[in-house]
Structure 1
Amino acid sequence: MVTESLWLPRSTCDIYCLPSPDSVPRVGRLRVVARAAAAAAVIAAAAVTLPVIPLLPPAGRARLMSLYARGVLGALGVGHDVRGRLPRRGALIVANHVSWLDVLVLLGSAPSRLLAKREVRSWPVIGSLAAVAGTVFIDRLRPRALPRTVASVSAALRAGGVVAVFPEGTTSCGRTSGRFRPAMFQAAIDAGVPVAPVTLRFRLAGGGDTSIAAFLGEDTLLASLRRVLTIGGLHVTVQVHPALYPVPGVSRRTLARVARSVVHGPPRSWTADGAAAPLELSRAA
């Protein structure tokens, strides 16, 4: 676990929150090898097209990155669906954070830019792809750089972009949740755009919720990837909740608090079409 601070929040979860591997459906070794090879092929294709991606218009880059994300998910055997309508223009998507798969699921569901920690920029291939896709990087060890990051997100939103963030700042197993950091909500307020709360729910083929894909504590990316490769019937549902429309004068802390209550609300409130009315926040909310 990490020490609690402004941009290094401590998760209440650890690898002990993961279920026993024997308690979830598993695929055979040949399927594992096939999945790994297919995922590697998609990433290799992305690497080959890397020099061309910056030459595409923003909409084209977003669609291509969405295509690659869906390709990796399909290769890994991870299904996903969207309930409701994700915004296509001028909105801040805020979601719970469970796994590194969250990024692929959001990118594969709707073209958007992401907020990611600065360390991702140095990852081979992935970091370069993230950069050309317009990812906004944040240095969590330099709080003084935060206003500049908020301004970058606000500028992207004001230009009509969709930016997705994980305001908890860390992952959890799904049974618990941390508070939403309010900084990026200020970007939505400054840009005058709605906030789109989204809940990511991981389930197995039988329909039961699972934390097997969570990326927690001292877990390594390689160990988490191995688990995902061996899981049978993993499916992620993206539930899009009614948008939050803040009125002038509402605080970012109020907006963060309301968004958190929506994202982590009871599953029985989920809808199939996301047709619930949007919410308008007042100063007194």
Structure 2
Amino acid sequence: MTTTAADPAGPYAGEGLWRPASGCGPDCLPPPVAPDVSRLRRAGRLLGVLGMLLAGAGVAVLLPLLPLLPAARGRAASRGWARWTLRTLGVRLLVRGRTPRGRALLVANHVSWLDILAVLAVSPTRMVAKCEVRSWPLVGALAAAAGTVFVDRSRPRDLPATVARVAGALRSGRSVAVFPEGTTWCGAATGCRPSRGFRPAMFEAAVAAGAPVVPLSLAYRYAGDPSTLPAFLGAETLWASVRRVLAARDLTVSVTVGAALHPAEGADRRVLARIAEAAVHSTPRSVLADRLDLAA
């Protein structure tokens, strides 16, 4: 894939990957309430999570150094780490549908930093993340050690190379997970949605590698009801979002695994992105048909 100064993202120019916006803000979050758990328990959760992050970094570093370790055990270790980290945070995980097996491009809606743990708890995978994550304390080092593909949204000319890296990982038999909305939103059923929906660029990697696309739908409940409490929005700091989760009792994340999509050789990544988006957001069949007619 080549690029030019006039067309910095090459064949992906104009797809709006680099400056996504959700329109969500502080008003999308629930009003502040008294913590559900004691200060001592919140401190215990925080210390436990820090310990899990350190352990995760160790796992990410050691697994590649153990070539004789069966791949299934390595995947089980990664999945177990993510599930225990969620449990340490006091978050219950529910999984619906068949767990993906083998290589796939996993695509999901994006609500919270918890999404990463939820995806890893379902299927160990390499993640695609914005480059700012690399600077997050502990989390950035863990992400880098785990082989995260970082995207620099300030350099659109790097996009073809990033897509090629994802395609290479898929060809090697690895799964890769991406949040094609490009930003987080509140997750409310009738709330804001990211502008322009799923960005199609990363779907080209699945087409090029001949890999299936597996839609994942993430939803959060607090005390049994749908909630935006875990959302990580706009100018909010990571610490503010983490504190809200640490203080919550009875928080649940559900991951619904959709049927795999198998793109044909030369498939249109834009149409594939629309189909995957419809699967993630459970768009009615009639609406899906209308969208596909328009895309054609």
Scaled to the shorter chain, the TM-score interval is: 0.7 to 0.9
Matched residue, 1:122? 135
Residue 239 of structure 1: SS of its match in structure 2?
strand
Q: How does 1:177-216 map to 2 (within 5 A)?
A: 177-178=193-194, 179-206=197-224, 208-216=225-233
- Identical amino acids, percent of aligned pairs: 53
Q: Which amino acid aligns with 2:95?
A: V
Cα distance in 2 for partners of 1:93, 1:6 equals: 17
Per the alignment, do residues 258 and 48 of structure 1 end up closer, same or farther by CA in structure 2, a change over 3 Å counting? closer
**Preserved CA contact (<8 Å) 1:54 1:61:** no
Matched residue, 2:248? 231
Matched residue, 2:161? 148
Cα distance in 2 for partners of 1:61, 1:219 equals: 35
Q: Which amino acid aligns with 1:79?
A: R
Cα distance in 2 for partners of 1:45, 1:227 equals: 23
Matched residue, 1:136? 149
From 183, 201, 219, the counterpart of 2:236: 219
Give the C-alpha shift of residue 50 in structure 1.
Answer: 6.1
Matched residue, 1:245? 262
Per the alignment, do residues 71 and 239 of structure 1 end up closer, same or farther by CA in structure 2, a change over 3 Å counting? same
From 174, 185, 208, the counterpart of 1:172: 185
| CA distances 1:141-171 after superposition (whole Å, capped 9, x unpaired) | 1111111110110111111111110000000
Q: How does 1:256-267 map to 2 (within 5 A)?
A: 256-265=273-282
Give the C-alpha shift of residue 256 in structure 1.
Answer: 0.6
Q: Which runs of 5+ in 2 are unaligned?
A: 1-14, 286-291
Cα distance in 1 for partners of 2:63, 2:213 equals: 28
Residue 20 in structure 1 maps to residue 31 in structure 2: yes
Per the alignment, do residues 43 and 250 of structure 1 end up closer, same or farther by CA in structure 2, a change over 3 Å counting? closer
**Preserved CA contact (<8 Å) 2:149 2:166:** yes
Q: Which amino acid aligns with 1:238?
A: V
Cα distance in 2 for partners of 1:182, 1:47 equals: 31
**Preserved CA contact (<8 Å) 2:223 2:251:** yes
What's the Cα RMSD here? 2.6
| CA distances 1:10-29 after superposition (whole Å, capped 9, x unpaired) | 1111121001133x982222
**Preserved CA contact (<8 Å) 2:218 2:253:** yes
Residue 93 in structure 1 maps to residue 106 in structure 2: yes
**Preserved CA contact (<8 Å) 1:93 1:196:** yes
Matched residue, 2:45? 35
**Preserved CA contact (<8 Å) 1:54 1:132:** no
Give the C-alpha shift of residue 100 in structure 1.
Answer: 0.2
| CA distances 1:179-238 after superposition (whole Å, capped 9, x unpaired) | 1000000000001111101100101232x1100000001111000000000111000000
Residue 129 of structure 2: SS of its match in structure 1?
strand
**Preserved CA contact (<8 Å) 1:89 1:161:** yes
Q: How does 1:52-131 map to 2 (within 5 A)?
A: 52-57=62-67, 59=71, 62-131=75-144
Q: Which amino acid aligns with 1:19?
A: P
Q: Which amino acid aligns with 1:196?
A: V
Give the C-alpha shift of residue 49 in structure 1.
Answer: 5.6
Give the C-alpha shift of residue 5 in structure 1.
Answer: 4.9
Residue 226 of structure 2: SS of its match in structure 1?
coil
Give the C-alpha shift of residue 48 in structure 1.
Answer: 5.3
TM-score, normalisation: structure 1: 0.86
Aligned residue pairs, count: 268
Per the alignment, do residues 251 and 112 of structure 1 end up closer, same or farther by CA in structure 2, a change over 3 Å counting? same
Cα distance in 1 for partners of 2:61, 2:262 equals: 39
Give the C-alpha shift of residue 106 in structure 1.
Answer: 0.7
Matched residue, 1:275? none
Cα distance in 2 for partners of 1:161, 1:18 equals: 36
Residue 218 of structure 2: SS of its match in structure 1?
strand
**Range that drifts further, 128-137 or 147-156:** 128-137
**Preserved CA contact (<8 Å) 2:53 2:142:** no
